[in-house]
Structure 1
Amino acid sequence: MQIAVIDYGMGNLRSVMNALQQVAPDHTLTLTSDPAVIAAADKVVFPGQGAMRDCMRELTERGLREVVLDTASKKPFLGICVGAQLLFEMSEEGGNTPALGVFPGQVLRFPAERMQLEGERLKVPHMGWNEVHQTRAHPLWAGIPSGERFYFVHSYYMHTPDTSLIVGESAYPFAFTVAVARANIFATQFHPEKSHAAGLKLLSNFVAWNGVA
Structure 2
Amino acid sequence: MTGIVDYNAGNIKSVEHALESLKTPYILSGNPRDLENADRLIFPGVGDAAYAMKQLKLTGFDSFLKDWVAAKKPLAGICLGSQIVFDWSEEGDTQCLGLLEGKIVRFSNLISPELAEKEGIKIPHMGWNDVKYCNGGSKLLEGIPDGTDFYFVHSYVIQPQDESVIKGYADYGIKVPAVVEKDNITVFQFHPEKSGKPGLQILKNFVEKTSRSE
TM-score, normalised by the number of residues in structure 1? 0.92
- Structural mapping, 1:158-177, within 5 Å: 158-177=158-177
Q: Deviations over 1:124-175 (max 9, x none)?
A: 1110000101112321011011100000000001001202211111111111
CA RMSD of aligned residues (A): 1.7
Q: Deviations over 1:39-69 (max 9, x none)?
A: 2111100000010000000000111111111
Q: Is the Cα–Cα contact under 8 Å of residues 87 and 95 in structure 2 kept in the other structure?
A: yes
Q: Is the Cα–Cα contact under 8 Å of residues 85 and 107 in structure 1 kept in the other structure?
A: yes
Q: What percentage of aligned pairs have identical amino acids? A: 40
Alpha-carbon offset, residue 118 of structure 1: 7.1
Q: Is the Cα–Cα contact under 8 Å of residues 167 and 180 in structure 1 kept in the other structure?
A: yes
1:104 paired residue number: 101
- Could you list the runs of 5+ residues in structure 1 that have no partner in the other structure? none
- Could you list the runs of 5+ residues in structure 2 that have no partner in the other structure? none
Query: How many residue pairs end up in the alignment?
Result: 208
Q: Deviations over 1:69-117 (max 9, x none)?
A: 12223211110001010110000011x2100011111000002652535
Find 1:43's aligned residue among 31, 37, 40: 40
CA–CA distance in structure 2, aligned partners of residues 167 and 179 of structure 1: 5
1:77 paired residue number: 75
CA–CA distance in structure 2, aligned partners of residues 22 and 51 of structure 1: 29
Find 2:61's aligned residue among 56, 61, 64: 64
- Pair 1:194-2:194 in alignment: yes
- Aligned residue for 1:208, secondary structure, equals helix
- Aligned residue for 2:73, secondary structure, equals coil
Deviation beyond 4 Å, 4+ runs, structure 1: none
- Aligned residue for 1:137, secondary structure, equals coil
